[in-house]
Structure 1
Amino acid sequence: LLDVNTLGVETVCSVSTPKEVWLQLLHTSSRPLTHTLLQEAALDTNTLNVEYQKIPPNFVNAAELDVPGHTMKDRYKTILPNPESRVILRNPDDDPGPDRYINANYITGYKGAPRAYIATQGPMVHTVGDFWDMVWQERSSIIVMVTRLKENNEVRRPRETSRHGRFNIRVKDSQEKDGFTVTDMEIELRSERRHVRHYWFTSWPDHHIPQCIAPYLKLVEEVETYSESLVPTSSQEVPASGPGPIIVHCSAGIGRTGCFIASSIGCQQLRETGQADVLETVCQLRLDRWVHKSCRKVREQPTVF
């Protein structure tokens, strides 16, 4: 079970260790565990918490982000994208203005796959257009939403037919599953249409953890299976709508989002090697984005894998 608590509200403690030193720690820390050792580690919460607290935060200071006006598009003023991996929105061909800002980062995937995911904050009323611009620009075919449909009076998922910025969004089909909803959408810009599949995990309350882990792991598995189906064989052309990064968001884009991505990578590790390196995975996430409390407690069930 992956535990996520308060997001964007805790005081960030200063770190006296030189940045070069803790960046080296993030690049080199590793502790691969077999399935049995994962279960044993989950029972030793004190050791697990100590290990987690030793992971350098790689926190982004506002002075490091040289983007004028970015605060208007940040949900939380202390949660900023790492400059080295942040997504930059290019302007359309008919708009000669400067590139635009979105609070999002590319995330390295399993086996070091570059830009396998995008971790981002939940879109706000005035940033929904930017969100869909990112989906289009990155040719993403999968969106994973790990939050309630409506938080703070903001609706996070399109309903039926809607227009956001330059795009028309149409819901083509929706299936209710155990703990999550799968919605097939069509995104249209001018005369071009692309298919996007939206996964919404409905059983994760804000600032708490799911009561049952099985639906969550089923979601992780289903997203991975569908993502693999989008990868063309050597004889197929790459489809226009993918395979781009899997876009994952919650509210702040650092807690539940980090948990989902870490779970996805860990499950792939277990299936292929029989081991999962939670420490290395969380450290890699920290290099790409300041994920917070992405892994406090891991509790694996023997029947899951």
Structure 2
Amino acid sequence: MLEAEPIDEFVHEQTTRSKETYQQDLDELNMADKRIQRFVRNGEPRGQRERARLIAYIKARTTAVRRVTLSIVHRDGRMHTLATKKLRKISCPPTFKKNRFTNVACFDEILDRDNEDFYCHANTFSTPYGNFVISQAPKENTCGDHLHLMWIYNVRTVVCMVPAEEAGGYFVPKEGESFTVFQKYTMKTNTIFDEKQGLTVYQCELKSYKAPKAQSRRTIYIICSDTPVAALRSPRQQTVLMEYMWAFEDTEAIERNGTTSDALTTVLVHGVAGTRRCASFVVAAVMCRQILETGQFSALETWIEMRLRRAHTCTRKHDFYSSLYTVFAFAAQCCTVSESEATFVKSMEILKVLIEKCHNRKEDGTED
């Protein structure tokens, strides 16, 4: 038999709570609620208030610089003034359009503690198995912000899920060529390596004009892989991508500390939108690292953590299945399981069918 409290007592308890308790509950809800205010603020100017701010900014930055006089000089030396006009110099307004897409949101996150107004369409994902920054490909007007993000997070390895020509233009995919953001950063491409599984590695040098001279240059490795969005992703290509990423991280740790212990580095992962392929790769890399260090992995918990930190991730079954497909292949590659084991073979076949089914639904417009 269940004992229930009287209705009057229940109502009394629910309606006589103090204001402080309500405020505490509200604060907890607000803390748990993810916001995209910074994303909206850095999008296209919308509404009368945004347009008014833009117009006011332009007017405030518009200054008269000189007066131009148009005159006619006669043969006898007399000069007749026709008109006088002020030329005005207009300073560039703040860039509102910092997002590549208006429908791919980005959770609010202060990426630069020294400048809270700094904004990139990016989020951090820090774990005991690797530290990552996941971002969209920069636009022409945000390449400087992209390089600044790489500098403040001490990024030495970049994983690019698209060919170099589609990476956003923050580096030039030709040996000896440089990309410069005036008085801020220069990214110079030193060497290009064509590697196995269709990967291309660019060894670059990132120079900061504001850093001390002895610390103004860093070696950056950019690994480019043409990874499909909705089709079957090669697990071998994904694992080779991880191997290069880990190798560059370990090399940097050895050069910095003289040991591989406590190697703390940040890897920048980007595609175009920075959601589907990037999240799937990062989650798979974390789970593969879990296998190497603990002999087991947790798919759901890792994906949940990713979903809490990066908007629009884990919105497609295809990405979830693809990460598992890569992890299972990696487990066989490092001999955690046997490739000939019946259960493993069946699991890989099931995952492949599920991925292809998702791809077919995408093509015929019936995707979940």
* Pair 1:182-2:201 in alignment: yes
Instruction: Report what 1:201 is aligned to.
Output: 225
Task: Return the offset for 1:86.
Answer: 4.7
Match of 1:74 among 89, 99, 109: 99
Preserved CA contact (<8 Å) 1:181 1:201: yes
Alpha-carbon spacing, 1:245–1:70, altered in 2? closer, same or farther (3 Å): farther
Distance 2:187 2:255 in 1: 29
Q: Count the aligned residue pairs.
A: 236
Preserved CA contact (<8 Å) 1:87 1:103: no
* Pair 1:268-2:308 in alignment: no
Match of 1:162 among 179, 192, 202: 179
Structure 1: segments with no counterpart, 5+ residues = 1-19, 25-57, 92-97
Instruction: Decide which structure has greater helix share.
Output: 2
Matched-pair identity in % = 19
Distance 1:77 1:61 in 2: 15
1:304 partner amino acid: Q
Alpha-carbon spacing, 1:87–1:70, altered in 2? closer, same or farther (3 Å): farther
Task: Return the offset for 1:143.
Answer: 0.9
Report which structure shows greater RCO (CA 8 Å, sep ≥6).
1
Preserved CA contact (<8 Å) 1:86 1:103: no
Task: Return the offset for 1:272.
Answer: 1.6
Matches within 5 A, 1:1-305: 62=36, 64-65=37-38, 68-71=41-44, 72-83=97-108, 85-88=109-112, 90=114, 99-110=117-128, 116-151=131-166, 155=169, 157-159=171-173, 160-165=177-182, 166-178=184-196, 179-190=198-209, 191=213, 192-202=216-226, 204-210=227-233, 212-232=234-254, 236=258, 244-290=265-311, 291-292=313-314, 293=316, 294-297=319-322, 298-299=324-325, 300-301=328-329, 303-305=332-334
With normalisation by structure 2, the TM-score equals: 0.56
Instruction: Report what 1:53 is aligned to.
Output: none
Distance 2:320 2:180 in 1: 37
CA RMSD of aligned residues (A): 3.3
| Larger gyration radius, structure 1 or structure 2 | 2
Preserved CA contact (<8 Å) 2:138 2:169: no
Distance 2:43 2:289 in 1: 35
Per the alignment, in what secondary structure is the counterpart of residue 287 of structure 1? helix
Instruction: Report what 2:49 is aligned to.
Output: none
Task: Return the offset for 1:81.
Answer: 2.4
Per the alignment, in what secondary structure is the counterpart of residue 222 of structure 1? helix
Structure 2: segments with no counterpart, 5+ residues = 1-27, 45-96, 335-368
